[in-house]
Amino acid sequence: MEENHSYSVGQVAALSGVTVRTLHHYDQIGILSPGRQPPNGYRRYEDCDLDKLRQILFYRELGFPLEEVATILEDAPANQSVHLRRQHRLLRDRIARLERIVAVVEKEMEASQMNISLTPEERFEVFGDFKPEDYAEEAEQRWGDTDAYRESHRRVTTYTNDDWQELKSQSTDIDRRLAAALGAGAAADGEEAMDLAEEHRMHITRWFYDCGYDIHVGLGDMYVGDPRFTARYEEIAPALAQFLRDAIRANARRAEAS
Amino acid sequence: MEENHSYSVGQVAALSGVTVRTLHHYDQIGILSPGRQPPNGYRRYEDCDLDKLRQILFYRELGFPLEEVATILEDAPANQSVHLRRQHRLLRDRIARLERIVAVVEKEMEASQMNISLTPEERFEVFGDFKPEDYAEEAEQRWGDTDAYRESHRRVTTYTNDDWQELKSQSTDIDRRLAAALGAGAAADGEEAMDLAEEHRMHITRWFYDCGYDIHVGLGDMYVGDPRFTARYEEIAPALAQFLRDAIRANARRAEAS
DNA sequence: GCTTGACCCTGACGTAGCGTGAGGGTCTAA
DNA sequence: TTAGACCCTCACGCTACGTCAGGGTCAAGC
């Protein structure tokens, strides 16, 4: 394998399974630009180009926009083990997500066989008990750092049943008080709501991971934007998810101002 | 839950996590068209609309084009258990695919830790020993029926180590003879190459699943179109994947003509 | 009744990531 | 020289929305 070998665009397309058009496109946007063969300007791809294409295709497979793939590859252009670790984690995350959905579908299959007719709200309940760490992963993918996820995972695995009881009790209490504040007409950016949002944030920090204000805001957006959370909070009180989201935002602004 | 409740487009967007624009779009293309509130024409979504949206989002999550989602939902508009079974299978398939990729990445991590520097071709070798059943699933998704996959899986689980040795020996022998024919200048649509393709097909039928000519042609296309197979055959002899693909096609045409 | 903010409507341009085709150049074997 | 395979650039079109424009409707507060 000492041979100095280069490939035409057609050969690379055949090897990799992407089209010539795709390779042109990647060249045009600058994510994979091969050398050019004088005097006709034909593209020639080297082995390192193939390596790079392989990484591109992997991240594309997992749904990353090309612009983001470009950023990833710039950050760690040559360090193969960095990519491998990242890819491994991403794959594991994706599988875990799909496994959760499978569990939901299986539960519904059971319910369906028992001829239980669930309402739309009840259907969301099948997602199981609400645990922030189930969803913080998504917040991280959107806004945060993977250290928080690992930290959360590390802590959670050490908890006893008593720990879970206490955690749940505190979580329920915060929810209840949020609903009460909403019911009493408290402003989402008032002191009371902000203090509750702060308690909410510290609860996560206490039990799961260090939840900075950025992450917290991301979580708040997710409570409103994701039907699982929204329904969860709607069950407690109508419009609670939005109230909490707004309180979280106000709380973050308060913290930023001080 | 006896309440006759309907939702505005904004409420549905909040509940479901999709945008108002998306709901407008779905209404426009006819995949999810709610009722309209006189006299202002505001959209009102019923519970059954929410159910339908949930199915749409599920299939969208798995990458189905909306047009195909529409077809799926037309075919089984009300039979919830049909959807559940299909969704379950799709999810399982996706997870299995990702698990295979994980295995590849893990193997590369091992190689990386041992400071083994792999060439692009060798990297494909990390996919492990060539087993048609590893890839027949993809052929099935493209061209075949899932019965073959189940049959393959059923057989393979019964094989002993001796079975694997024999299987591998035969497979290697076929590859070697294909390479020899190619090296001797045999035409891909000549008798010799077609006979070898036929042996190849019967080998799969013997050891994995009933490989009809359609499936076989699909496999041949995949050997050329997928870098994993192409590289595998390139290692044995240059251009072998294409030679085999052409021989498979010729063989299928021969069988069709008789 | 008026004002205001939130939400509703339709219409339309633009984007990401290519697929497809037009029109023409280059390479290689016969 | 010819023909077929492959190369090039250019450009329109597609899917599934994102974003914005411009204007109507609703409901609470003054």
* pLDDT score at A230: 65
Domain residue extents for chain A = 9-75, 79-117, 129-257
pLDDT of B176 above 90: no
Which residue type does A7 have?
Y
Q: Nearest to residue B253, comparing CAs of B217, B222, B206, B224?
A: B217
- Nucleotides in chain D near protein beta carbons (<7 Å): 6-11, 15-20, 24-26
Cβ-contact A178, A196 below 8 angstroms = yes
CATH class of the domain comprising B129-257? mainly alpha
Strand D contact at CB of residue A11, distance < 7 A: yes
Q: Left (φ > 0), alpha (ψ -120 to 50) or beta: where does B141 sit?
A: alpha
Residue A184: in which H helix or E strand, if any?
none
Give the pLDDT score at A32: 92
Query: Nearest residue to nucleotide D17 when comparing alpha carbons to its C1'?
Result: B22
What CA–CA distance (Å, rounded) separates B130 from B170?
Answer: 12
For chain A, list residues whose CB is within 8 angstroms of any CB belonging to chain B.
1, 14-17, 47, 50-51, 54, 58, 61, 80-81, 84-85, 87-88, 91-92, 94-95, 98-99, 101-102, 105-106, 108-109, 112-113, 119-121, 123, 224-227, 230-231, 234, 241-242
Q: What is the mean pLDDT of residues B25-54?
A: 89
Q: How confident is the model at residue B228 (pLDDT cuts 50, 70, 90)?
A: low
pLDDT, tens digit, for every residue of B61-115? 777 889 888 888 887 655 667 777 777 777 777 777 777 777 777 766 666 555 4
Interface probe with A: pick from B87, B115, B242, most Cβ of A within 10 Å: B87
CB contact under 8 A, A88 and B94: no
Q: Is the pLDDT of residue B55 over 70?
A: yes
Q: How many CB atoms neighbour CB A50 within 10 A? A: 23
The type of residue at B15 is L
Residue predicted with more confidence, B76 or B221: B221
What pLDDT score was predicted for residue B88?
79
Report which residue type is found at A171: S
- pLDDT over 90 at B243, yes or no: no
Q: How much is the mean pLDDT over chain B?
A: 71
pLDDT tens for B124-163 read: 332 223 333 344 444 444 433 334 444 554 454 455 445 6
Residue corresponding to tokens 């908890």: A159
This complex has an ipTM of 0.54
Phi-psi region of B17 (alpha: psi -120 to 50; beta: other; left: phi over 0): left
Can B9-75 and B129-257 be said to share one CATH topology? no
Q: Which of B3, B4, B6, B15 to mutate to test the interface with A (most CBs of A within 10 A)?
A: B15
Write out pLDDT tens, residues A194-205: 888 888 888 877
Q: What percent of chain B has pLDDT over 90?
A: 7
Separation CA A139–CA A136 (nearest Å)? 5
Question: What is the model's pLDDT at position A243?
Answer: 85
Three-state SS at B114: coil
Residues in chain A where the model's pLDDT stays below 50: 1-3, 115-150, 153-154, 157, 160-161
Handedness of CA B226, A68, B68, A125 (dihedral sign): positive
Nearest Cβ partner for A81 among B85, B99, B112? B112
B-chain CB neighbours of A98 within 8 Å are: 91, 94-95, 98
CATH for the A9-75 domain, from 3.30.1600.10, 1.10.1660.10, 1.10.10.10, 3.40.50.300 = 1.10.1660.10
Query: Is there a contact between B119 and A87 if contact means CB atoms under 8 Å apart?
Result: no
